[in-house]
Amino acid sequence: MLPTSDDVRYLLPCSASFRCLDRFSILNDLGELEDANGQVPFWDVLTTLLGSPVETPTQLAELLDTIAVTLRGSSGQAGDYQFLKSFVRDFQPAFFDTYWPLIVQLALELPHHFPRGSLQVLGAESSPSTLKLRRRQVVCLIVHQFLCTLSAPVWREEFFDFSIWYGPDQRHEQACRIYLTCFFTYLGAFLPTSKKWDDDWYITYTLVNAESDYTALGLSPVVLNTIEIVVTESYQTCPVQLGLPSGAAVVSANRYIGFGQSATQEEVHVGSSPEACPAVLVAPPLGRNQVVVVRGAEAMFNITGRRRGIEAIAQDVGVSVDWRQRTMLFMDALELNTADDENGLPDLIPQNLTRELNKATIAFSSGAYEVVHSPLWGCGAFGGDPFVKVALLWCAASIANTPLKIICDSGLQEIASSLKILVGGVERRLETVQDLLELLLSIPRKTMKLATLDWMVGRLALLTRDS
């Protein structure tokens, strides 16, 4: 049985404790390698397998299948590797002539870069909350995500390696093709001919755990900070929308952060940035007062659009960008099970508003950011009402003393115009976070989605008359 990691250390394939059955008799002489349970070190099996020639998509699929069955007993979501074989077939001859030798080389460097054979789990007992890795270490981990040689972290059973992009019947083929293209483009930085590789480039993965409740600050006279509603033709993973050079960008994360098979905002941001992918190995599910911050991950392509309409275009090489300064703020919103909003917004209650305010404030306070860029964060919280969500983000940014930019694509033009009306009304009539929170808390729970705008604007007008 494949050993699992624990909640303190994540076990890597090069660890002597990472053992498996030699199901296919890969090793010629087990000798002292085999233990009482018939298991051998997986690293010996893997190094032998990687010494075999791989010259066709079918041979690649057979190798990956041998690894998967050796470790897990089946190919899992990769199935017959149909999508991967098709992708690699279109990528010939560069894949087998150039990229496969590099993949093997980087994979075999694992013991050198991680002599302990494990990674610290963020926030675990007696462990630091930040993992700082050189870029060469990170690419080594990513290559093993490609080879699917890793075990599942204790908190998740899937979506920790790239096998989800290999099988037939992908739910979003364009997205998976883009994510694989980003991976191979990233590998190009480590080719001997590349001038892009820099060993002074670090990627950091941080679990920010706030003990304090920021609601008290919200009830103090904190002045509302600057907010701007920005309408762009499409969402993009270009430097400007990612907060570079000295800002940060919100990633609308799940509680279990990471990549996937579709094109949610989180999946696009992580899938386009391979260096963010290892975060799934060390970041446990987010708690109520926790966010994950990833710094230094380069977006390999500018992915424009959303959902079924995404496209990948080259980043503007004419713009000088220091990707080491990029900051990704992984924030999960409330997971609500309200069946519908026919009776208004039943989740619009103080404890939910407090939870979202705290979550955003923790993220925005995690660094000294010139500005924070955010989409309409919040998933389905408060019925998906954009006015409640933006007001909360505004409060959080003000408590963190950080200017805020809300990014809307052209499909949200009408919503953006309405948001500007709300912002203008608040700026003319309210001064503090406490004022805005009191306005939010006074919204009747029976108020329908989107009707919150008229209610708040009307309330602000009354405040003006009373004054």
According to DSSP, the residues that pair with 302 across neighbouring strands are: 313
Mean of the pLDDT values across residues 6-11? 84
Domain boundaries, the chain: 9-200, 204-462
- Residue, of 127 and 331, whose pLDDT is higher: 331
CB-based contact 328:294 (threshold 8 Å): yes
Q: Which fold has domain 204-462?
A: Leucine Aminopeptidase, subunit E; domain 1 (3.40.220)
According to DSSP, the residues that pair with 120 across neighbouring strands are: 9
Q: How is 295-335 classified by DSSP, letter by letter?
A: ES---SEEEES-GGG-EEEE--TTS---GGG-EEEEEEPP-
Residue type, 75: S
∠ CA 36-111-101, rounded to 5°: 110
- Residues 326-381: tens digit of each pLDDT: 999 999 998 765 555 566 777 888 889 999 999 999 999 999 999 999 999 976 77
| Contacts (Cβ under 8 Å, ≥6 apart) of 226 | 403, 404
- Residue, of 202 and 193, whose pLDDT is higher: 202
Q: Reply yes or no on whether the pLDDT at 3 is more than 70.
A: no
Mean of the pLDDT values across residues 280-284? 97
- Residue, of 2 and 314, whose pLDDT is higher: 314
Q: Chain-wide mean pLDDT for the chain?
A: 91
**Which pTM was predicted?**
0.94
Strands 118-120 and 9-11: antiparallel
At residue 182, the pLDDT reads 98
- Residues 298-307: tens digit of each pLDDT: 999 999 999 8
Q: Reply yes or no on whether the pLDDT at 465 is more than 60.
A: no
At residue 338, the pLDDT reads 54
Which region among 12-26, 213-227, 358-372, 419-433 has the lowest average model confidence (pLDDT)?
213-227
At residue 446, the pLDDT reads 86
CB-based contact 410:234 (threshold 8 Å): yes
**3-class DSSP assignment, residue 427:** helix
Q: Reply yes or no on whether the pLDDT at 264 is more than 50.
A: yes
Q: Reply yes or no on whether the pLDDT at 466 is more than 70.
A: no
Mean of the pLDDT values across residues 289-315? 95
Give one word for 7, left, alpha or beta, with left for phi > 0 and alpha for psi -120 to 50.
alpha
Residue in 289, 298, 285, 238 with CA at minimum distance from that of residue 258: 285
At residue 197, the pLDDT reads 59
User: For residue 375, what are the CA distances in angstroms to 150, 231, 408?
Assistant: 33, 11, 6
At residue 467, the pLDDT reads 46
